[in-house]
Amino acid sequence: MNFKALQKKIRQLLKEKNAILLAHNYQRPEIQDVADLTGDSLGLSLEAAKTEAEIIVFCGVHFMAETASIVCPDKVVLLPVISAGCPLADMITAPALAQKKAQYPGVPVVSYVNSPASVKAESDICCTSANAVQVVNSLVKDDTVLMTPDKNLAHYAQRHTDKEILCWEGFCTYHDSLAPEQVMMVKRDHPHALLLAHPECRPAVINLADEVKSTSGMLDYVRRSPAKEFIIATETGIIHTLETQNPDKIFIPADERMVCTDMKKIHLDDIVHALVTQSPVIKVEEDTRVKAYRAVERMLEVPRD
Ligand code: SF4
């Protein structure tokens, strides 16, 4: 079947099963185009929770489907390709975090949503790439915090707080591999373009950025900006969304090699298969879910700037 036929079949199945299709901004264009909602991982789960759908098909990676299960315990969550993981989330485990916490008693743990449910359950509060700074600064009684698992997000937050941030040494393979020399070369070729960088990029890339934004932040910024040309320093999948929403603007990837292979594991026929078989199901065990949800809730209570 071609894309159009598969997309038609997916829409039909979603209706029959009272299901909703969520696609992360880094998914394949044909998946983003057929989805009910596109966005970032937590935003998608929070939106899905408001719907009457009984089934969530999450086109993303494992920790994202877990987040949907944490936020929407009454819905069945399907991850069409079970092996779609996240190298960053896999750089931390709950026992390793427990060991670290024992070294720093009383120091609160801020965990990026890109982490396993079991790690969120061991954390005091979660954060996203959009609100990491506000979350850290919300811990008013603490001078020191431990941020996991992304060291680059921790370094970025450190620029905007007086607290001492202890960081876990994890990183996103794709964002961390973007070299400042590569970015400077693209900037030289496009001198009028604004550079938007994701905070998972290395500090040396962040230093070159005009704006540092989460994926949702980039979409919002570009929509409002009078600028016409942008260099995008994040996974290249977002360029499809940016082009669809802003047909009059030009987007240049900071590096065409920033393609997350896990994010690209899902194809349209995997979604059909998931809907027909109602598998693979991702379900976070209840005790872990309740603890992890508390860390997410605390984050949602942090006032936005
Ligand atoms: Fe994980 Fe990076 Fe892939 Fe996102 S782009 S899923 S953080 S490896």
The pLDDT score that the predictor gives to residue 304 is: 67
Q: Are 197 and 155 part of one and the same domain?
A: no
User: What is the whole-number distance in angstroms between the Cα of residue 140 and the centre of ligand 1?
Assistant: 30
> Is the distance from the beta carbon of residue 113 to the nearest atom of ligand 1 less than 6 Å?
no
Residue 232: pLDDT over 80: yes
Q: What distances in angstroms separate CA 289 from CA 111, 119, 283, one per listed residue?
A: 15, 11, 9
Q: For residue 242, what are the domain limits? A: 178-253
Instruction: Evaluate the CA torsion angle 75, 78, 79, 82 in order and state its sign.
Output: positive
Q: Are 189 and 58 part of one and the same domain?
A: no
User: What is the whole-number distance in angstroms between the Cα of residue 39 and the centre of ligand 1?
Assistant: 14
Residue 6: pLDDT over 80: yes
In a domain, 222, yes or no: yes
- Stretch 81-104: mean pLDDT: 98
Q: Are 8 and 48 part of one and the same domain?
A: yes
The pLDDT score that the predictor gives to residue 1 is: 77
Ligand 1 atom at minimal distance to the Cα of residue 85: 6
In a domain, 305, yes or no: no
Q: Whose CA is nearest to atom 1 of ligand 1?
A: 86
Q: What is the phi/psi pair of residue 177, to 5°?
A: -85, -5
Q: Are 103 and 73 part of one and the same domain?
A: no
The pTM is what? 0.95
Q: Which of 260, 261, 265, 266 to mutate to test the pocket of ligand 1 (most atoms within 8 A of CB)?
A: 260
In a domain, 155, yes or no: yes
The pLDDT score that the predictor gives to residue 41 is: 84
CATH code where residue 55 lies? 3.40.50.10800
Q: Rounded CA gap, 116 and 211, in Å? A: 29
Q: Give the number of domains in the chain.
A: 3
Residue 305: pLDDT over 90: no
> Is the distance from the beta carbon of residue 114 to the nearest atom of ligand 1 less than 6 Å?
yes
The pLDDT score that the predictor gives to residue 105 is: 95
Q: Residue for token digits 């949702």?
A: 216
